[in-house]
């Protein structure tokens, strides 16, 4: 009898210890496939917006928007290259302007060749999912605007997919003086329509953006925004 | 015997460990419920507000100095109130450490402010002339500077106007600091309707008929309030002009006329009539004439509320045996039940973008809490956890919720962000209920 109790006790303790200590099967273990992108829908995109899905952009279209943008007013072009601007600004504000420019906008290396695009730096820095954004008009020297605008976009960004690798969709959009969005399109699709639509919708739903500062003389700005999904 | 004790001890430890895991789960649920309602986790912008400085040339008295401090305080309160902003306070320890009386831009930056608001004033006669400017502390760049002129007696409005301009500059959206709220306040056995600024200041009594007046709702133009009153015996529908405070009866029906809700286009009223013996939801025109009966059920249907696009109406019905929220289109068709959580869900109100409905839910502890749910019935979240919380209503920008609560004793009016954070008390009278937030004019 005593032996039975001891055996029973040992058996029970063994089961309990095994249950508590042992970890369950690792259901999260993912099969390893090389050169395969795993994508699954977490939520279906809403039907009404999905209708507005633009057709996939052919590779040649990437270069075309620069020619289509109606924003390059004569006032913009002379401001495009850095050397010219640095020389012009001191006439109005001799001390402050050159300092703010070097702090805020990091011009692309090819800016000296006449390209008016500039990289955009925000408070989020390189950790931002929008790192690598560029603006058509390098004279737009207001980092706060990008921080505020990108925050709105991020708040409206409802990612519908889950994937194993980073996915990037590049959106191009234009904003006028009042902050209203006048154009938004997919410039470089990721190849996953649900993700592309969500990116485009997040920009469209973020209007109105902060109005452009009064000191900024042009009426419109165009922004190329890579939106990157990073797997957890 | 010892073996049995040992065995029992192991079992107790086992169950205790399980209980600990359960508590961990509860904490996860708690955090989940109070997580932000938007998917993007964006921190509020940190803003510091400098004390207003006098830049005129003439000597100013103590009253003018006080006035400038009051205006600064109004702007600081507004910035702190706004859901997307967080006020950075001038840290007295920092000032003492550096032996300075006020912060420069670098000081604000060190305290965490991304932007600072600079206020400068001239006070010619009875006029207030204020320049406000916004500075990016990151690069010391002043990117906005405007002038506002008003009379000294309108100093609160001037402060709110500056705050609205700051919101507009930084977000592109209209601020809510010049909006009004309306609520019901109990006075002896009567309930009268009052109106005040969004922060509870400048309270004015709108009705004074020594009766019971409830369920106020703003007309979309912001100039009239529709409400239900017992002044003629049965509850009937009335309208009051905010400026003249003159009330007028709209329609007259047997039984009750209650819970009016004005359509977003402002030309229809959804309300509850019991003229046919049972509380049903009807569509009325602005003169009180019935356009259409929307519900037809032997149970009680009440609390209609319009979707922002005016195409749907959410309402409460006990047709399932307990009060639950249903949605139908504005013609009364395509009824569907929205809530299945708990046995009491009431007072629905649509979010500004139409994707969520906030309502009152009796949670498992028997408490009335504010809850929120997607219009497809998913993602149910509880927003409050203290006191009895009722009568939710959204601010015109959809970022804040106003509601009544007994968390501090008598029922008062409170506000919070849609996330459930930043909860603050607006009234301190007690016995206040039915708050609604007026439109942006």
Give A96-141 pLDDT, tens digit per residue: 333 333 333 333 333 333 345 666 655 555 566 677 888 988 888 8
| Residue range A63-72: mean pLDDT, rounded | 42
CB contact under 8 A, B138 and A152: no
- Rounded to two decimals, the ipTM of the complex is 0.76
Chain A residues 109-128 with a CB less than 8 Å from chain B: 123
What is the spatial distance between Cα B45 and Cα B54, in angstroms, rounded to a whole number? 27
CB contact under 8 A, A144 and B168: no
The pLDDT score that the predictor gives to residue A58 is 42
From B359, B398, B394, select the one nearest B380 (Cα to Cα).
B359
CB contact under 8 A, A144 and B39: no
Which residues in chain B touch residue A179, judged by CB atoms under 8 angstroms apart? 172
CB contact under 8 A, B143 and A156: no
Which residues in chain A touch residue B42, judged by CB atoms under 8 angstroms apart? 151, 154-155
How many angstroms away from the CA of B100 is the closest CA of chain A? 25
Nearest chain B alpha carbon to A181: B172
CB contact under 8 A, B143 and A103: no
From A229, A215, A194, A206, select the one nearest A49 (Cα to Cα).
A194
CB contact under 8 A, B3 and A155: no
What is the spatial distance between Cα B152 and Cα A214, in angstroms, rounded to a whole number? 28
| Residue range A26-45: mean pLDDT, rounded | 56
Which residues in chain A touch residue B37, judged by CB atoms under 8 angstroms apart? none
User: What angle, rounded to 10 degrees, do the helices at B155-171 and A143-155 form?
Assistant: 80
**What ranges make up the beta strands (E) of A37-119?**
39-41, 118-119
| Residue range A70-96: mean pLDDT, rounded | 39
Among B14, B141, B173, beta carbon nearest to A208: B173
Which residues in chain B touch residue A208, judged by CB atoms under 8 angstroms apart? 172-173
Q: How many CB pairs under 8 A join A and B?
A: 78
CB contact under 8 A, A100 and B169: no
The pLDDT score that the predictor gives to residue B82 is 94
Over the stretch B35-55, which tens digit does the pLDDT of each residue have? 333 334 568 889 999 999 999
Among A6, A20, A142, beta carbon nearest to B17: A20
**Block residue for tokens 């020594």:** B210
- Answer yes or no: is pLDDT of A43 > 60: no
The pLDDT score that the predictor gives to residue B154 is 93
Over the stretch A167-208, which tens digit does the pLDDT of each residue have? 899 999 999 999 999 999 999 999 899 999 999 999 999 999
Among B39, B114, B141, beta carbon nearest to A157: B39
The pLDDT score that the predictor gives to residue A126 is 55
A193 touches chain B (CB under 8 A): no
A42 touches chain B (CB under 8 A): no
**Block residue for tokens 């009426």:** A219
In this structure, what is the dihedral angle of CA atoms A44, A47, A49, A52, given to the nearest 10 degrees?
Answer: 110
Of the residues B44, B115, B143, the best mutation for testing chain A's interface (the one with the most A CB atoms within 10 Å of its CB) is: B143
CB contact under 8 A, A144 and B138: yes
Among A5, A16, A156, beta carbon nearest to B3: A5
- The residues of chain B scoring below 70 in pLDDT are 1-42
CB contact under 8 A, B141 and A208: no
CB contact under 8 A, A215 and B143: yes
What pTM does this model have? 0.73
Buried (b) or exposed (e) across B223-256, using 16+ Cβ within 10 A?
Answer: ebbbbbbbbeeebbbbbbebeeeebeebbebebb
3-state secondary structure string, chain B?
Answer: CHHHHHHHHHHHHHHHHHHHHHHHHHHHHHHHHCCCCCCCCCCCEEEEECCCEECCCCCCCHHHHHHHHHHHHHHHHHHHHCCCEEEECCCHHHHHHCCCCCCCHHHHHHCCCCEEEEEEEECCCCEEEEEEEEEECCCCEEEEEEEEEEEHHHHHHHHHHHHHHHHHHHHCCCCCCCCEEEEEEEECCEEEEEEEECCCCCCEECCCCCCEEEEEEECCCCCEEEEEECCCCCCEEEEEECCCCCEEECCCCCCCEEEEEECCCCCCEEEEECCCCCCEEEEECCCCCEEEECCCCCCCEEEEEECCCCCEEEEEECCCCCCEEEEEECCCCCCEECCCCCCCEEEEEECCCCCEEEEEEECCCCCEEEEEEECCCCCCEECCCCCCEEEEEECCCCCEEEEEECCCCCCEEEEEECCCCCCEECCCCCCEEEEEECCCC
CB contact under 8 A, A209 and B172: yes
* Length of chain A measured in residues: 232
The pLDDT score that the predictor gives to residue A42 is 60
What is the spatial distance between Cα A31 and Cα B216, in angstroms, rounded to a whole number? 60
Among A156, A179, A214, beta carbon nearest to B40: A156
The pLDDT score that the predictor gives to residue B22 is 42
């Amino acid at each position: 009898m005593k032996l039975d109790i001891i055996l029973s006790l040992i058996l029970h303790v063994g089961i309990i210890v095994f249950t508590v200590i042992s970890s369950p099967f690792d259901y999260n273990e993912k099969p390893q496939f090389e050169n395969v992108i795993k994508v699954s829908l977490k939520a279906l995109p809403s039907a009404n917006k999905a209708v507005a899905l633009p057709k996939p952009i052919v590779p040649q279209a990437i270069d075309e928007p620069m020619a289509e943008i109606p924003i390059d007013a004569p006032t913009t072009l002379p401001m495009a290259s850095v050397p010219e601007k640095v020389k012009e600004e001191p006439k109005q504000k001799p001390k402050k302007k050159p300092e703010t420019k070097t702090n805020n906008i990091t011009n692309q290396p090819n800016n000296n060749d006449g390209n008016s695009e500039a990289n955009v730096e925000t408070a989020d820095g390189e950790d931002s999912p929008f790192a690598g954004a560029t603006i058509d008009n390098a004279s737009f020297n207001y980092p706060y605007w990008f921080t505020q605008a990108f925050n709105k976009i991020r708040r409206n960004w409802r990612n519908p997919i889950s994937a194993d690798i980073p996915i990037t969709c590049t959106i191009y959009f234009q904003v006028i003086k009042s902050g209203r969005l006048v154009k938004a399109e997919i410039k470089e699709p990721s190849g996953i329509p649900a993700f592309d639509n969500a990116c485009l919708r997040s920009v469209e739903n973020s209007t109105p953006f902060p109005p452009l500062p009064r000191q900024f003389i042009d009426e419109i700005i165009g922004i190329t925004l890579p939106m990157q999904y990073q797997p957890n | 015997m010892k073996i049995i004790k040992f065995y029992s001890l192991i079992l107790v430890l086992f169950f205790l460990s399980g209980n600990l895991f359960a508590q961990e789960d509860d904490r996860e649920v708690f955090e989940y419920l109070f997580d932000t309602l938007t998917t993007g986790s964006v921190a509020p912008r940190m803003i510091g507000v400098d004390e207003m400085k006098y830049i005129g040339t003439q000597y100013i008295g103590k009253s003018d100095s006080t006035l400038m401090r009051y205006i600064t305080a109004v702007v600081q309160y507004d910035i702190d109130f706004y859901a997307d902003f967080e006020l950075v306070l001038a840290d007295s320890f920092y000032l003492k450490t550096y032996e300075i009386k006020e912060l420069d831009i670098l000081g604000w930056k060190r305290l965490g402010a991304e932007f600072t608001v600079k206020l400068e004033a001239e006070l010619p006669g009875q006029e207030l002339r204020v320049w406000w400017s916004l500075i990016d502390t990151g690069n010391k760049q002043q990117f906005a500077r405007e002038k506002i002129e008003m009379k000294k007696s309108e100093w609160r409005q001037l402060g709110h106007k500056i705050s609205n301009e700051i919101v507009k500059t930084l977000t592109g959206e209209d601020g809510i600091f010049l909006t009004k709220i309306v609520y019901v306040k109990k006075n002896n056995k009567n309930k009268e309707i009052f109106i005040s600024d969004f922060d509870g200041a400048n309270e004015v009594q709108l009705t004074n008929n020594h009766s019971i007046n409830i369920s106020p709702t703003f007309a979309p133009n912001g100039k009239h309030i529709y409400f239900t009153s017992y002044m003629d015996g049965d509850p009937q529908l009335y309208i009051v002009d905010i400026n003249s405070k003159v009330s007028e009866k709209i329609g007259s029906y047997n039984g009750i006329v209650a819970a009016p809700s004005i359509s977003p286009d402002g030309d229809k009223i959804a309300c509850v009539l019991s003229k046919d013996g049972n509380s049903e939801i009807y569509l009325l025109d602005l003169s009180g004439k019935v356009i259409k009966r929307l519900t037809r059920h032997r149970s009680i249907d009440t609390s209609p509320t319009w979707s922002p696009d005016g195409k749907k109406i959410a309402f409460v019905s006990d047709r399932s045996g307990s009060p639950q929220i249903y949605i139908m289109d504005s013609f009364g068709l395509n009824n569907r039940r929205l809530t299945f959580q708990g046995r009491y869900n009431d007072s629905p109100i649509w979010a500004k973008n139409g994707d969520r409905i906030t309502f009152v839910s009796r949670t498992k502890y028997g408490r009335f809490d504010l809850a929120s749910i997607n219009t497809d019935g998913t993602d149910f979240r509880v927003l409050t956890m203290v006191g009895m919380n009722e009568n939710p209503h959204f601010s015109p920008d959809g970022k804040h919720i106003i509601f009544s609560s007994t968390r501090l004793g008598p029922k008062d009016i409170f506000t919070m962000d849609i996330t459930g954070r930043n909860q603050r008390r607006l009234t301190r009278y007690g016995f206040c209920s039915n708050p609604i937030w007026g439109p942006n004019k």
